[in-house]
Structure 1
C-alpha cells in the first residue's frame, strides 16, 4: 500500500501558498454596480467598457492618467549602460558574442491596423495611460512597432536554452523587441516588449512574426493567469492586421496563409535561465557575473550583495520560487506546454505563452502541445521538468561558485522535491477546505484525484462544485445540475471517499458550512481559458469581430465569480464535443 505522500506524488498534484481572494456569491454581469469586496481590488476588471463588464473593484484617478502618448517616459538607458551591446548592427541572423542585447528596430505590421483587445488594468494600473488612448492612431502605431517613443532604444535579448532536454545553443528574442523600462507612479519598474514585431539577429530562419491565433491566446492567458493569482507577464494590447504570414501549423507540410498580430506585453524582467546559460557555456564569465549582479540588485532586494554567498542565496530563492510557481500551475490544471530553460523566468513568473492548455478531464499525462510527441512536458511532468531546469541553472552558475558553494547548491536542489511535496499538501488541502492538520489528509486528497482520473472528471469543475455543494447535499448524495460531481459519483468508491471527507469536515470546530464553501470558492475558479473558448474567440478575431474576445477577457478577469453571461455561454458547462478535436502546436 502506498503512503499518503507517495499517492500524492503519483497523483501528480502540486501546491503553493494561496493568496486570499474575496468574491461575490453571484454576479449579474450586466449589472453595472456588481463588484466584489474592497479587499479584492487586485482582481480588477480590465479592457474596454461594455454591457458585459463587471464593475472594476479598483479605482484610479482619471486626472492623474497620461492623456498624451508622448508623455509616456520609456527608457532603455539602464540596460544599455549596464551591459555591452552587440557591435554589429542590422536584423540579419548571426551568431552573437560578448553581449546581452543587440539593437534591433521593429518591423511595423502592414495595415490596416486594428485594436483587437486592450487590458484596462494594465493600461491604467501599470502604464498610467488613459485607456481612451488605445483608440488613437498614435497608440496603434506604437503598439504595432511603427512608432518609437522618446528614450526608447529597441533591444533584442541574447539567450540560449535547453529545448526538450538538449542544448540548443544560441536562441534569443527572434520576434520580440524590448522597448525600454517604464517607472510608474507607484514606483514599479516594468519592461515593455513587443512580440511579433519582426526579425532580429536571433530570428534564425524565422520571419519574426506572430499570427492571430497565438497572439489571442497569449493576450487572454497572461491576463487570465494574473486574475487567477498566478505570477505572470502581463498583456497591454493586441494589434491585428491583414499582413499575410505563412505557417505550417502542425509541421505536416500543410502550409497556409494566416494574419499577423503584435502583443504589447510587460514584465518586471524578461531574463530567464537561458540568459545565464549562454554566457556560462560561451566562457563569458565576467559578463555572467555582471548579469547576475544586475538581476540581484534590481529584482532581489532581500539579498545582500555584499554577502560572499550572494549567488548561493539567489539560487536558493529561484529554486524555492520555481517550485512554488509550478505548484500554482498545477493547482489550476495549467500545462505550459514548452518548459524549456529559455522559457523559465529567473523571477519565477509565467512567460512565453505558446501551446499551453488547461486540463479538462483529470489526466496527469495531459499534453497540450501536439509537437511534444514524447509527452516530456505533460501536466504531471512539470515538477520534474522544473528540477531539470534548475539543474541546468546550477550548471550555469558553477563558474562563479566555489567548490564548497557548489556542494551547498546541490543540497539546496535536493530540497526542491520536499518543497514541492509540502506545497502539494497545502494547496489541495485548501482546495478541499480543510483546516488544521490530520494524518490522513494526504490520503483523502490522493483518493479523490485517483477517482477523478478513473472517471475522467473535469478538474476545474469538480473542485468548484465541491465548493458550491452544501453539506446536506453531500450527505444525501444529490447533486442537481452539477455535472462534474455526477461524473465523479459514478466511481464505485465514491461513497467511501465522501464519508471520509464529511467526517473530516465534521471535526473542524467553529467552522460552518458557509465558511467552508466561501474558502473553497476563493481558491477554486469557475472559469479558466479552455482551448475551445480561445478557439471560438480566435475564429471571430480572424473575421475582424472582437466582441467575443472582449467578453471572454472580462469574464476571465473574474474567474472566481459566477457570472450570468458566462453561464449562458456555457463557460462552466461540459465542454462541447468538438473541443476534443482541437490541437495546438509550437507553430505560431
Structure 2
C-alpha cells in the first residue's frame, strides 16, 4: 500500500476520451450546452484544514493507501492530486419534487480523477464542498461541517448494512466561514466549511440522460448512454440492437431492489429527485435523510418536503416515477416496437420490488422457507408497530435476541423495551402464536432462527440524534465522537460496549423528537 503521497497516481480518465467538455474554461455560473462535463478546479480553503475523520477500510481496501498518508498535508488538502488530471464537474438536470427543474449539475462537487486499485476496480473520486462550479446556481459551492459529517457517516453506515452506496474516505474542516439559513426561516448563521472525499464506481444519474433528452441533444444522449453501457454494464453487448432495453431492464430491477433494501432498515432518503438517483442504483447524495425510530410510514426527514412527497412509505412509488423518467429520456434512442417493450419493463418494477421486500423481511423474521401467508404476517406486524409506535430497528432486533419462548408478552424482559411496547397491542399474543407455528413448520432450530435475524437486523443505525450529538462535539473541535460512531456503524450487527454505554440501542432521548434536517448544506 502507498504511504508516500506523491507516488500515488490516478488513472487515465475514461470520460475525457469519449465525452465532450464545456469549451468555456472560466468558472462562473451559467447555462451549459452540448457537453457532459465542465473543467473546474477545486478552490482551496484560506484557513488551515483539519482532518475530522477517515475510513480505514476505504483507504486500505479501495484506494490502496496506508493510513500514514494522513500525516501528509498534501493528501489532506488534495492539491497534488490534480497533477496530470483534469478535474470535472458534471452537467445534469432532474425532476425535483415531481417537476422538471432543468439544469442542475454538480453545484458543489468536483471529480478530481479516477483510480484503478490493485483489484482492478475503477473508482471515481469527488470532493464535495470544494467551491463554486458553473452549476452552483445561487449557491457558493461549499458544504458545512454538519451536513458533511452526516454524509460521511451515513454512506459508510449504509455500506456496512449491505446497501449499495457511494463511499467516503475522509472529511476535513476549515475555519473558512460559510453562511447558511439552515431551515430557510430568515435566520442565516456563520458555519465552518468542510469537504468530504467521496467515491463511487460512477456518479452518473438519471438526470445525466434527462438533460440531454430535454435539450434535444440526441447524438450526445446516444454517446453518453453507450459510454455508460460499455463501462458500467459490461454484460450487455454494445452491438445488440436491444442494448438500451437491456440497460433499462437492469436499472429498473436494481433500483427496485435498492429501495426495498432502504425500506428494510427504515432508511428514508429525503430528496428522491431524479438527479439524486444513480444509474448504477447505488445510494448517493446524502442530504436530509433519516432512519425510522418509531415505525411511522408517513415519516418525512426533510423539513423542506412540506407535502411529504418523499416519505418513507412513498419511496417505492417514487422509484417508479424516477425510472419512468429514465424511460422517457431513452425514447429518442428507441424505435416504436422498443418503446412498447420499455413500457412493459417498467410495469415489472412492482413485482420486482415486492419480491425483494419479502425476501428481506423473511430473513428479518428468521424464515428460510416461503409460505403464501408470509406477506400477511409481515403486514400485521407492521400495522401493530405503527399503532403502538414501536421502534423499527429495535423491535426486529429484540425479536432475534429473545428465544421463541421469551417472545410471549408475559416473558419479555424490561431490557427488550421496543418489543415490550409492541406486546401491549391487542393482537400481539395471537400474532406471536402464528409466528411460532410458522417457525416450527420450517423445521430449523431456534438458535438458527436467532442467528439469521441477528445477522439481518442491525442493533445500531445512524439515528439523527446520534449524528447531532457528534456534530455538536465536532463544531467545538472535538472529533473523537465522529470517529467512535464510525467504528460502531462499521459493525452494526455486533453488540458493542461503547455503543451500549452511549445508549445507542436505548429509547431515543426526548429531545430527539424535535430535531430537524433540511436540504441546506
State if a TM-score over 0.5 links the two structures.
Answer: yes
Deviation sequence 1:13-72 (CA, Å, 0-9, x none)? xxxxxxxxxxxxxxxxxxxxxxxxxxxxxxxxxxxxxxxxxxxxxxxxxxxx11111122
Secondary structure of the corresponding residue to residue 357 of structure 2: helix
1:490 aligns with 2:424: yes
Q: Check whether the contact 1:161–1:277 (CA below 8 A) recurs between aligned residues.
A: yes
CA pair 76-374 structure 1, distance change in 2 beyond 3 A: farther
Q: Check whether the contact 2:404–2:446 (CA below 8 A) recurs between aligned residues.
A: yes
Per the TM alignment, residue 148 of structure 1 is displaced from its structure 2 partner at its CA by 3.4
Partner of 2:439: 505
> Counterparts of 1:77 and 1:305 in 2: how far apart (Å)?
21
1:255 aligns with 2:188: yes
1:113 aligns with 2:49: yes
Q: Which consecutive residues of structure 1, in runs of 5 or more, have no partner in the other structure?
A: 1-64
Deviation sequence 1:63-106 (CA, Å, 0-9, x none)? xx111111221146321121111010121001110100000111
Partner of 1:312: 245
**1:315-334 map, 5 Å:** 315-334=248-267
> Counterparts of 1:221 and 1:78 in 2: how far apart (Å)?
29
Partner of 2:394: 461
Per the TM alignment, residue 476 of structure 1 is displaced from its structure 2 partner at its CA by 6.5
> Counterparts of 1:256 and 1:216 in 2: how far apart (Å)?
18
Alignment size in residue pairs: 520
> Counterparts of 1:323 and 1:191 in 2: how far apart (Å)?
24
1:160 aligns with 2:93: yes
> Counterparts of 1:508 and 1:78 in 2: how far apart (Å)?
51
> Counterparts of 1:95 and 1:415 in 2: how far apart (Å)?
37
Partner of 1:79: 15
1:472 aligns with 2:408: no
Q: Check whether the contact 1:175–1:195 (CA below 8 A) recurs between aligned residues.
A: yes
Partner of 1:180: 113
Partner of 2:126: 193
Per the TM alignment, residue 223 of structure 1 is displaced from its structure 2 partner at its CA by 0.3
Secondary structure of the corresponding residue to residue 313 of structure 1: helix
> Counterparts of 1:297 and 1:574 in 2: how far apart (Å)?
48
> Counterparts of 2:364 and 2:96 in 1: how far apart (Å)?
33
Deviation sequence 1:484-532 (CA, Å, 0-9, x none)? 00110010111111111111111122x1111100011111000000000
| Selected match of 1:122 from 58, 67, 86 | 58
Partner of 2:68: 132
Deviation sequence 1:174-214 (CA, Å, 0-9, x none)? 11000111000000000000000000111111000000000
Q: Which consecutive residues of structure 2, in runs of 5 or more, have no partner in the other structure?
A: none
Q: Check whether the contact 1:104–1:156 (CA below 8 A) recurs between aligned residues.
A: yes
Partner of 1:342: 275
Q: Aligned-pair RMSD on alpha carbons? A: 0.9
Secondary structure of the corresponding residue to residue 585 of structure 1: coil
The more displaced of 130-139 and 113-122 is: 130-139
Q: Provide the TM-score with structure 1 as the length reference.
A: 0.87
Secondary structure of the corresponding residue to residue 442 of structure 2: coil
Deviation sequence 1:334-378 (CA, Å, 0-9, x none)? 000000000000000000000000010001100000000000000
Secondary structure of the corresponding residue to residue 110 of structure 2: strand
Secondary structure of the corresponding residue to residue 238 of structure 1: strand
> Counterparts of 1:221 and 1:352 in 2: how far apart (Å)?
10
| Selected match of 1:89 from 25, 31, 35 | 25
The more displaced of 66-75 and 524-533 is: 66-75
**1:516-531 map, 5 Å:** 516-531=449-464
Partner of 2:38: 102
Partner of 1:211: 144
Per the TM alignment, residue 222 of structure 1 is displaced from its structure 2 partner at its CA by 0.2
1:407 aligns with 2:340: yes
Partner of 2:491: 558
Deviation sequence 1:460-498 (CA, Å, 0-9, x none)? 000000010011212473121100001100101111111
Q: Check whether the contact 1:73–1:150 (CA below 8 A) recurs between aligned residues.
A: no
Secondary structure of the corresponding residue to residue 173 of structure 2: strand
> Counterparts of 1:577 and 1:107 in 2: how far apart (Å)?
41
| Selected match of 1:297 from 230, 238, 247 | 230
Q: Check whether the contact 2:3–2:69 (CA below 8 A) recurs between aligned residues.
A: yes
> Counterparts of 1:337 and 1:367 in 2: how far apart (Å)?
7
Q: Check whether the contact 2:5–2:72 (CA below 8 A) recurs between aligned residues.
A: no
Q: Check whether the contact 1:75–1:151 (CA below 8 A) recurs between aligned residues.
A: no
Q: Check whether the contact 2:112–2:126 (CA below 8 A) recurs between aligned residues.
A: yes
